[in-house]
């Protein structure tokens, strides 16, 4: 059987040459269509599931995490070449692949002048110096390529002052200290990771006159309380006392010098003096070993430097046979803080295995997807999702017009208990369909779906008990896709059993202990969770790229809208009424959306029973694909860079409802009726009503006025 397929491809290729160069990639020859089924081919799906190989993922990970590969470092560039080589492989590569490079502003500690944290005695002498590097426990924590722990984008400076413990560095924490009569002016604040964003700790501290900030990882937050060397890595998955979490302290995402513009060399760059979003005061992360020893007067010396560096994305494509202009986009970042075996190489190891399996089917002539599949390896994510953001800025319109969905697999395995998916509502059904058909790793004979529902579940008014999807914040490269472009997105990983650990995140996160052995011994021995993620992502990608009808269920947005509405009614309704603001139009808009989404679902069901024309299905799929775009309003939140999605923009208020409404209410709450803040509440309400009415209008039969 293999022979006839190879022969078929040979003829197809000859036909392609015959059509000549002019046709280029556009005119996919008819012959190629014969490879592409009209619809998802379950046999192909099964083949792919079977070929995704845990051992190969393990080997990928070993190679990817062999050396530290900080963004723009020589090893990061080596991995660009590795990806290009894999994706151009004649036997298991894609149709084409290329690297594209941006010139972006990164931040590094000085090699000559390391950052220093010292305890200073009453006479000015140094009593204790914090560790400048992590302890070389496994032989991988030493050497020049292990970047010193630092807070990227924190300004340099050498503040000295009394140490004040400020909990998590939240606004409330500093207010509490003030209430206790503690003078904050000129102090060094010791804060622990968690609670608020990294950069926010320094922003909050600076408001109170604090001169410098230290951020440590508390054993209570990361190690389930354990802290001694014999209880930590390499004896367990817990963080050694010397471990320090690195990270970006930049408030926004994307290259700091080129907001809304691609960071190509010719693009305009904001003057450094006008850049916003960097921490206002020197900041340095430390390990809990040092945190424990800190007292009294502390001297912090930060010598971070900003540098313009070249950082590359690598993009590979499998051209769609029937609808090449519809992109199923699947990506992960490549850069790590040190070896980054978990973050991000566990995702890249899966990405490479998936591209190998699909590439092999492609090169053998067994399969070509209906729609195009784009694989992406993003650069400089750790510094603020820079590679992916610049990509969305450079190809804004093209991506917005054509992208079916974005699938992100960053850390593929945090732990090996259960699947965890974050996503916009239309992706729920395709993830459910995929996971019901894949066996879960671990004991028992459960599907990934059935295992998942044991850990994360909710009671849906429509479906009953189902696994619960989380919502997408801005924790990885999906952020510019969902918030800036309005593309249906998801992030897939395997994660913890929360009854077994309360670790804020896997303990060696962003430290030099995040190594291959750590994964191999503690996180996922046997790599079966990696394989489960590969299968889940693979099945989702195949379903999105091959199904005749796009498996995006827009009516699943109705549940979200209804719950947002109910929260607004219950928790804000009385307040709004006091200020003569009616939720009536919002109720109407949600009802319209529900009705139109249900009616569209009916039309799809009816059509699926017949033998619909491909053009008819294309028109319907366009409605499904473009629904998410209708929730974008670039003028809704002018102060929130990149956030245009009126349902998923950051929410500061405690009520889980439409973010613009929630935030505006928080601000207006203590002002009088008729204030500007209350006008803003009304404006935000109109923005979301208009978006929902517009969304309902796009779901109506297309020739209805």
Residues belonging to the active site = 381
Q: Which stretch binds its own copies (CB under 8 A): 180-188, 193-201, 343-351, 605-613?
A: 605-613
Q: How far is the CB of 253 from its own copies (least distance, A)?
A: 16
Task: Give the x/- contact pattern for its own copies in 303-332, rule: CB under 8 A.
Answer: ------------xxx-xx-xxxx-------
Q: Show the tokens assigned to 464.
A: 């009953």
Count, residues near its own copies per rule CB under 8 A: 84
Distance CA 533, CA 672 (A): 52
Q: How many residues are listed for the chain in this entry? A: 705
Q: Which of 630, 657, 662, 663 binds its own copies (CB under 8 A)?
A: 630
Q: How far is the CB of 269 from its own copies (least distance, A)?
A: 8
Q: Reduced to 3 states, what is the DSSP secondary structure of residue 635?
A: coil
Among residues 224, 401, 517, 571, the one that binds its own copies under rule CB under 8 A: 401
Measured CA to CA, the distance from residue 635 to residue 87 in angstroms comes to: 40
How many of the other CB atoms lie within 10 Å of CB of 622?
Answer: 15
Minimum Å gap between C-beta 478 and its own copies is 20
- Residue 387 and residue 102 in contact, taking contact as beta carbons nearer than 8 Å: yes
- Does 694 participate in binding its own copies (rule CB under 8 A)? yes
Task: Please state the closest distance from residue 368 (CB atom) to its own copies, in A.
Answer: 11
Which residue among 620, 624, 649, 692 contacts its own copies (CB under 8 A)? 620
Tell the smallest beta-carbon distance from residue 580 to its own copies (Å). 13
Does position 541 interact with its own copies (CB under 8 A)? The reply is no
Minimum CB–partner distance for residue 98 and its own copies (Å): 6
Is residue 649 a contact residue for its own copies (CB under 8 A)? no
Judged on CB neighbours under 10 Å (0-12, 13-18, 19+), 624 is buried
Joined tokens for residue 586? 């919002």
Least distance in angstroms from the C-beta of 60 to its own copies: 23
Measured distance CA(119)–CA(133) in Å, rounded: 17
Does residue 697 sit in helix, strand or coil?
helix
**Among residues 574 and 615, whose Cβ is nearest to its own copies?**
615
Does residue 629 interact with its own copies by CB under 8 A? yes
Site for its own copies in 659-688 (CB under 8 A): 679, 682-683, 685-687
Give min distance, CB of 698 to its own copies, in A. Answer: 5
> Any contact of residue 609 with its own copies (CB under 8 A)?
no
What are residue 205's phi and psi, to 5 degrees? Answer: -60, -45
| DSSP-derived pairing of the beta strands 464-467 and 457-460 | antiparallel
> How far apart are the C-alpha atoms of 212 and 298, rounded to whole Å?
10
Strand-pair category, 297-301 with 116-120 = antiparallel
Nearer residue to its own copies within complex by CB, 357 or 620:
620
Residues 542/48, Cβ–Cβ less than 8 Å: yes
Q: What is 19-59 written as a DSSP string?
A: H-TTTTTTS--HHHHHHS-SS--HHHHHHHHHH--HHHHHH
From residue 155 to residue 194, what is the string marking binding to its own copies with x (rule CB under 8 A)?
----------------------------------------
Binding to its own copies, residues 555-584 (CB under 8 A): 582, 584
Check residue 635 for interaction with its own copies (CB under 8 A): yes
Q: Which of 479, 478, 455, 476 is nearest to 467 (CA)?
A: 455
User: Contact with its own copies (CB under 8 A): which of 616, 650, 654, 673?
Assistant: 616
CB nearer its own copies, residue 143 or residue 265: 265
Instruction: Give the 3-state secondary structure of residue 373.
Output: strand
Residue 608 near its own copies by CB under 8 A:
no
Site for its own copies in 257-286 (CB under 8 A): 258, 260-262, 264, 266-268, 270-271
Give the C-alpha separation, 251 to 197, whole Å.
8
Cα torsion angle, 268, 273, 276, 278, sign = positive
Q: Which is nearer to its own copies, 460 or 690 (CB)?
A: 690
DSSP annotation of 471: P
Residue 704 binds its own copies, judged by CB under 8 A: yes
Establish if 243 lies at the interface with its own copies (CB under 8 A).
no
> Applying CB under 8 A, which part among 107-115, 239-247, 544-552, 692-700 lies near its own copies?
692-700
Q: Work out which of 634, 650, 654, 673 binds its own copies, going by CB under 8 A.
A: 634
CB of 34 to its own copies, least distance (A): 13
Using CB under 8 A, pick the residue from 602, 608, 654, 673 that binds its own copies: 602
Indicate the residue among 340 and 425 with the shorter CB distance to its own copies: 425
With binding defined as CB under 8 A, does residue 603 bind its own copies? Answer: yes
Contact between 356 and 60 under an 8 Å Cβ cutoff? The reply is no
CA distance 700 to 680: 30
CB of 634 within 8 A of CB of 644? yes
182 or 264: whose CB is closer to its own copies? 264
State which of positions 6-35 bind its own copies (CB under 8 A).
Answer: 22-28, 30
Quote the least distance from Cβ 9 to its own copies, whole Å.
Answer: 18
**369 conformational bin, left if phi > 0, alpha if psi -120 to 50, beta if neither:** beta
| Span from 335-343, 397-405, 473-481, 509-517 in contact with its own copies (CB under 8 A) | 397-405
Closest distance of CB 51 from its own copies, Å: 24
| Element spanning 422, H or E | strand 418-423
- Does the footprint of its own copies cover residue 460 (CB under 8 A)? no
Bridge partners for 491 per DSSP? 408, 422
Considering only 357-365, 437-445, 523-531, 626-634, which stretch makes contact with its own copies by CB under 8 A? 626-634
Scanning residues 86 to 125, which ones bind its own copies (CB under 8 A)? 95-98, 100
Q: Do residues 568 and 657 touch, judged by C-beta distance below 8 A?
A: yes
Return the C-alpha torsion angle 376, 382, 384, 388, nearest 10. 0
β-bridge mates for residue 157, sequence order: 302
Tokens of 235: 């004896």
For residues 135 and 96, is the Cβ–Cβ distance under 8 A? no
């Amino acid at each position: 059987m293999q022979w006839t397929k190879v022969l078929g491809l040979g003829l197809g290729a000859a036909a392609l040459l015959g059509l000549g160069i002019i046709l280029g990639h556009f005119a996919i020859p008819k012959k190629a269509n014969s490879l592409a089924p009209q619809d998802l081919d379950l046999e192909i799906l099964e083949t792919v599931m079977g070929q995704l190989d845990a051992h190969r993922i393990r080997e990928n990970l070993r190679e990817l995490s062999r050396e530290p590969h900080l963004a723009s470092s020589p090893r990061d560039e080596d991995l660009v070449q590795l990806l290009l080589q894999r994706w151009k492989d004649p036997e298991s590569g894609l149709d084409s692949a290329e690297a594209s490079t941006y010139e972006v502003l990164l931040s590094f500690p000085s090699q000559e002048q390391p950052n220093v944290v010292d305890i200073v005695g009453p006479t000015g002498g140094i009593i204790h110096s914090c560790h400048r590097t992590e302890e070389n426990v496994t032989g991988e924590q030493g050497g020049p390529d292990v970047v010193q722990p630092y807070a990227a984008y924190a300004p340099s400076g050498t503040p000295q002052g009394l140490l004040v413990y400020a909990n998590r560095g939240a606004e409330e924490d500093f207010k509490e200290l003030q209430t206790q009569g503690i003078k904050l002016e000129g102090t060094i604040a010791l804060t622990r990771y968690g609670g608020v964003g990294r950069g926010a700790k320094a922003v909050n501290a600076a408001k109170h006159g604090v001169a410098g900030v230290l951020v440590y990882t508390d054993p209570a937050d990361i190690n389930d309380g354990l802290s001694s060397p014999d209880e930590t890595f390499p004896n367990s998955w817990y963080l050694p006392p010397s471990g320090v979490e690195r990270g970006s302290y930049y408030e926004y995402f994307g290259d700091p010098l080129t907001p809304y513009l691609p960071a190509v060399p010719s693009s305009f760059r904001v003057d450094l003096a006008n850049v916003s979003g960097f921490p206002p005061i020197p900041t340095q992360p430390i390990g809990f070993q040092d945190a424990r020893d800190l007292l009294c007067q502390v001297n912090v010396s930060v010598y971070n430097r900003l540098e313009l560096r070249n950082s590359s994305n690598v993009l590979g494509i499998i051209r769609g046979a029937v609808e090449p202009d519809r992109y199923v986009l699947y990506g992960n970042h490549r850069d790590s803080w040190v070896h980054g075996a978990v973050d991000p190489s566990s995702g890249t190891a899966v990405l490479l295995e998936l591209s190998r399996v699909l590439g092999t089917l492609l090169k053998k002539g067994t399969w070509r997807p209906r729609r195009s599949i784009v694989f992406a390896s993003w650069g400089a994510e750790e510094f603020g999702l820079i590679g992916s953001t610049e990509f969305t800025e450079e190809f804004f319109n093209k991506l917005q017009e054509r992208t079916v969905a974005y699938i992100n697999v960053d850390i593929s395995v945090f732990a090996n208990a259960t699947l965890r998916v974050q996503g916009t509502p239309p992706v729920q059904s395709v993830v459910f369909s995929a996971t019901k058909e894949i066996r879960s790793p671990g004991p028992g004979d459960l599907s990934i779906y059935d295992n998942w529902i044991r850990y994360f579940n909710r009671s849906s008014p429509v479906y009953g008990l189902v696994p619960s999807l989380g919502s997408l914040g801005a924790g990885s490269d999906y952020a510019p896709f969902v918030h800036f472009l309005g593309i249906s997105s998801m992030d897939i990983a395997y994660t913890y059993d929360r009854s077994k650990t309360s670790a804020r995140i896997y303990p060696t996160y962003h430290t030099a202990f995040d190594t291959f052995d750590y994964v191999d011994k503690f996180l996922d021995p046997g790599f079966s969770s990696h394989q489960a993620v590969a299968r889940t992502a693979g099945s989702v990608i195949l379903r999105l790229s091959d199904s005749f009808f796009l498996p995006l269920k827009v009516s699943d947005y109705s549940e979200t809208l209804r719950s947002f509405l109910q929260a607004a009614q219950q928790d804000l309704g009385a307040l709004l009424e006091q200020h003569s603001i009616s939720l009536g139009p919002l109720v109407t808009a949600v009802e319209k959306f529900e009705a139109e989404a249900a009616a569209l679902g009916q039309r799809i069901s009816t059509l699926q029973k017949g033998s619909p024309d491909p053009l008819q299905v294309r028109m319907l799929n366009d409605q499904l694909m473009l629904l998410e775009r209708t929730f974008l309003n670039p003028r809704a939140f002018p102060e929130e860079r990149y956030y245009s999605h009126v349902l998923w923009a950051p929410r500061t208020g405690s009520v889980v409802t439409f973010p613009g409404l929630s935030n505006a209410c928080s601000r207006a709450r203590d002002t009088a009726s008729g204030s500007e803040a209350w006008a803003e509440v009304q404006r935000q309400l109109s923005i979301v009503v208009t978006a929902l009415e517009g969304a309902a209008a796009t779901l109506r039969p297309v020739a209805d006025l």
